Chains A and B, each alone.
Chain A
Amino acid sequence: MPTLMIDDRKITVEPGTTVMQAADRLGIFIPRFCYHPGLSAVGSCRMCMVEVEKIPKLQTACTTPVVEGMVVHTYTEQVMDARRSVLEFLLINHPLDCPICDKAGECYLQDDYMEYARYTPRYKETRWKKRKVHILGPTIVMDEERCVLCSRCVRFLQEVTGKQRLGIFERGARSVLSTFPGQTLTDPYCGNIVDLCPVGALTDRTFRFQQRVWMLRRGESICPYCARGCNIAVDYNERSDVQINDRRVYRFRPRFNPKVNGHWICDRGRYAYRFIDDARRLREPMLREGKRLVPSGWERTLKRVARRIREVLDTFGPEGMGLILLPSVTIGTARRVRKLFVDDLGLTRIATGPSIDPEADEDSILLRRDRFPNRGGLVAAGFPDGDPGAVTEGVLRGWATGKIKLLYVIGDDLPRFFEETSSFSIPSAGGILILQRSMEGPEDDFARMLLPSAMTAETAGSFVNFEGEEQTFSAVLPPLEEALPDEEILGRLSLLLGLKGEEACRHENSVEEEQG
């Protein structure tokens, strides 16, 4: 275990660690462009130069392994001069686009220039004009002038996804990053290269020009779009327009967690940020009156739901009611469903959503075939393990044949679920379908009651991912308009059903507060 000194601070690290990693562990920041902890170190940008005693020349911190007794200085005159010179070199062709650049506010070049460089430029020659808008793929757009050729994106595609589509072409000052001829960036992970880019050369076409990063607030959540449960940061604006008070989520970005997703997230999860403020979100509780669904407020709707449940249970017994709980809900919701519907009401026809779709794409990086984030959590809450598909088919068959008079569905991503479950149909016998979820769907036409629930970013709870990792998250945003978290809806419902359990009492207070 070599021990070394960095800026007069001692640290002992494993052999093979680089100076950069040791400094990061000490909290000493060494500026960098090409180094990224998730990629191989190439030492090409020369920004991380540090002075090592007994070595006459400066060394790149990202590629120099530590040696016993090493003494490193990261803030000497010589180091500062090197940093200034590197920045002067990088800024030869880098235009001062900060007002229009999407990366302004989180750009390394901008930060480092303010920190180390502020020089009078000496470059007198004509600057190279390159392509400002070079579309690399459906989601990525490239500005060749801004690129500092750090090759992070090239290495990402090479090392992480294994599909090399990017390369650096031409020589010297003419060098540009581009895709190989005839190829476009269609990788399911290529959104990560936008986060990776230390400057604003690669930008996201969906985020481009939408919002300046300093206006965004960052919240931490878990991606609910597959069984992996990647850690994400939710960048949102509380009031994108002060005059109309609308909040909006602008992007999802990965959050480092070595146990789950490492540094990356897939594009499916990344671009799911759009669902949160989507026009198809359910905004208020609805009741069917005649042919139409009409907004009717929480109290009235839930009273109606409770009355229908009571009627069905009294007439047909617990066999007359079915419940589908999709594994997109939190463990807390699952526990509450178990207490309310199984323990208190005695329901037996409970299903936990379709089985895993064998045709969905899955890879060895992050994507999982199972699209639901909390299958493990449902087991933890006391729902049976095993093939959930067969049970769900059974409940749906019971519903289709009219044995189940009332079907209560909790959880999101129903459109996909019903598309894949062919046996779903609407019984002519006038069964009651109650949907508790956050997005509109084609089944809404058959629903008697719609209960808008909050999305993952709007709720607190925990998920258990496919590897058994339990991850707790808190609410980033308040629910959209009238929507409520699933737990809250079920708490209110259990009160109306006259079931005052321990948990229901807690919610009773909150309901009273609101009424008062």
Chain B
Amino acid sequence: MKKDRISQKRLNFPERLYLAEILRGLWITGKHFFRNFLMHIGRALGVVKKRRGAVTIQYPEECRPIPAGYRARHRLLRREDGSPKCVACMMCPTICPANCIHIRAAESPDPTIEKYPVEFRINLDRCVMCGFCVEACPVDAIRMDTGVVEMSASDREEFVTVLDFLLDSKPAKNPV
């Protein structure tokens, strides 16, 4: 038998009786209930002004801030002149474990750039948000810092993000 690597804390006597623990649980729930209850009444009467009405987050009106390194929906960066920074080197589709990136390259009119993507699609349906594409990119053209984590659609096609959409996506405003 494989030994269980998680060592469980042994319960002491009052904990093993459970009664005290049940009461402790009720106390926590009740504390939040009455706090929310009183605070909302206070806010409705205009007594409480500065503090929040509730301890919970009112999703979707309210969202938790996203940490800076959080891998959200992708975006593509532009050069200073507005052209895509991507050179269509295909590193990201090569590394992508979900095969969700499709790039079609073409000869750029600018001989110093040579190659640019005419088509760049990410199928978010398949994407596993691993961030390998960001790691693999040699020119820092793709990032996952838009802060957009809510991705829902009623049609599969809507999950396919295309070049212009990715280029126009903005980074998250104030990540924590």
Contacts and interface: CB of A to CB of B under 8 A. Distances in A.
A243 B104 CA distance: 13
Nearest to B160: A243
A209 B102 contact: no
B112 interface: yes
A417 B150 CA distance: 61
Interface in A96-146: 97-100, 104, 131-133
Interface in A229-248: 241-243
A243 B157 CA distance: 11
A212 B94 contact: yes
Interface residues on B, range: 20 to 34
Contacts of B114: 97, 100, 132-133, 209
Interface residues of A, number: 17
B66 interface: no
Contact of A214 (B94, B106, B112): B94
Nearest to A141: B107
A99 B112 contact: no
B46 interface: no
Contacts of A104: 89
Nearest to A210: B105
A100 B87 contact: yes
A208 interface: yes
B30 interface: no
Contacts of B87: 99-100
A14 to B, nearest CB: 45
Q: Taking each of A100, A208, A215, which has the highest tally of chain B beta carbons within 10 Å of its own beta carbon?
A: A100
Contacts of A132: 111-112, 114
A210 B103 CA distance: 10
A241 B102 contact: yes
Contact of A133 (B91, B105, B111, B123): B111
Contacts, number: 41
A104 B115 CA distance: 14
Contacts of B106: 209
B128 interface: no
B112 A209 contact: no
A247 to B, nearest CB: 15
A209 B108 CA distance: 10
Interface in A175-217: 208-210, 212, 214-215
B94 A209 contact: no
A209 B115 contact: yes
A208 B99 CA distance: 23
Contacts of A210: 105
Contacts of B142: none
B138 A99 contact: yes
A100 B139 CA distance: 11
Interface string B105-122: 111000110110000010
A106 to B, nearest CB: 14
A99 B90 CA distance: 8
A99 B107 contact: no
A131 B111 CA distance: 8
B102 A212 contact: no
B88 interface: yes
Given A133-B111, A242-B99, A212 B90 contact: yes
A99 B139 contact: yes
Contacts of A99: 87, 89, 91, 138-139
Contact of A215 (B88, B90, B138, B139): B90
Given A212-B90, A215-B94, A243 B112 contact: no
A182 B94 CA distance: 42
Contacts of A215: 90, 94
A242 B102 contact: yes
A132 B94 CA distance: 26
Q: Taking each of A97, A98, A209, A212, which has the highest tally of chain B beta carbons within 10 Å of its own beta carbon?
A: A209
A98 to B, nearest CB: 8
A424 B91 CA distance: 53
B107 A208 contact: yes
A312 B139 CA distance: 69
Contacts of A214: 94
B140 to A, nearest CB: 12
Nearest to B102: A241
Interface in A67-115: 97-100, 104
Interface in B109-168: 111-112, 114-115, 121, 123, 138-139, 160
A97 B106 CA distance: 16
Contacts of B123: 243
A132 B102 CA distance: 27
Contacts of B138: 99
Q: Taking each of A99, A132, A133, which has the highest tally of chain B beta carbons within 10 Å of its own beta carbon?
A: A99
A242 B123 CA distance: 10
Interface string B53-82: 000000000000000000000000000000
B88 A209 contact: yes
Given A132-B114, A214-B94, A243 B89 contact: no
Contacts of A100: 87-89, 114-115
Nearest to A242: B99
Contacts of A133: 111, 114
Given A99-B89, A132-B111, A243 B102 contact: yes
Nearest to B112: A132
A64 to B, nearest CB: 39
Given A99-B87, A104-B89, A242-B99, 6 more contacts: A100-B88, A100-B89, A100-B115, A132-B114, A215-B94, A241-B102
21 contacts: A97-B114, A98-B89, A99-B87, A99-B138, A100-B87, A100-B88, A100-B89, A100-B115, A132-B111, A209-B88, A209-B115, A212-B89, A212-B90, A215-B90, A215-B94, A241-B102, A242-B99, A242-B100, A243-B121, A243-B123, A243-B160
> Which 6 residue pairs of A and B lie closest in terms of their CB atoms, listed nearest first?
A99-B89, A242-B99, A209-B105, A100-B115, A133-B111, A212-B90
